Amino acid sequence: MRSDEPHDLDSLVRGLGIPFEDPGLLRLAFTHSSYANENPGDGGVSNERLEFLGDALVGLVIAERAYTERPTQHEGDLTSLRAALVQDETLARVARSLDLGRFLLMGRGEDTGGGRERTSNLAALFESLAGAVFLDQGFEAARGFVVRSLSTEMDAIPDPAPPRNAKSQLQETLQSQGLEPPTYRIVGEEGADHARTFTAEVLVGGEPLAQGRGPRKSAAEREAAQRALERLVL
């Protein structure tokens, strides 16, 4: 079903919990550039500027939610999570689940060519709608719309397994190979009292396997274990 009828679009967004004050802004969010080009009498303006705004908004909302709800994840993990959620494939999947494409205004050629289901068009539409909600109702309403829409996708991405300590990994690796567990000794210490650097050595069966350095003895031992692991893998 195609919809040029304002009341149909209004019913959609009300069902999504985002009733619009400005129907012109809502219609703009659903206006593809191909429709704007074919209908200059309607103003010839598409949703591309709203897409730009919505892209930044969605990224911010996801970053804030990830930071708040996943306190044990490091920066790299949070970056990967955000990238997985703001990519076109994810946003298009969400747009399909909300049935947004049915209301997208587009030119005849784009429509007959399958544009209503095109991933890039649907992702842009979702971002445009988010941007329009922001302009019409403010940040909190836009944030709520994005969170509600993407919560299932976000919850489906598991937290990464916490990294195992290198010393534990080394002991497990040696045991799997039928070797004795590792032992450690500090073989060097240098620097002023407030800036000491320790050198640790890891031994297997009494034979040195690798060395590591660090500001604390435990850190030096972990580095030695990590280097030993690298040697065993190679």
Active site residue 230: no
| From 51, 55, 110, 201, active-site residue | 55
Domain 166-233 has CATH 3.30.160.20: yes
Q: Are 92 and 123 in contact (CB under 8 A)?
A: yes
Compute the average pLDDT of residues 227-232.
87
With 0.85 as the threshold, say if the pTM is over it: no
Residues 22, 12: Cα–Cα separation, whole Å? 15
Q: Is 127 a catalytic residue?
A: yes
- At 160 the pLDDT is 67
Q: What is the CATH number of domain 6-155?
A: 1.10.1520.10
What single string gives the DSSP state of each residue in 129-169?
Answer: HHHHHHHHH-HHHHHHHHHHHHHHHHHTSPPPPPPPPHHHH
Phi, psi values for residue 48, rounded to 5°: -65, -40
pLDDT tens, position by position, 81-95: 898 899 999 999 999
**Where are the chain's structural domains?**
6-155, 166-233
Residue 191, sorted as left (phi over 0), alpha (psi -120 to 50) or beta, turns out to be left
Catalytic residue, candidates 51, 110, 127, 221: 127
DSSP 3-state of 197: strand
- Only one residue has tokens 């550039």, namely 33
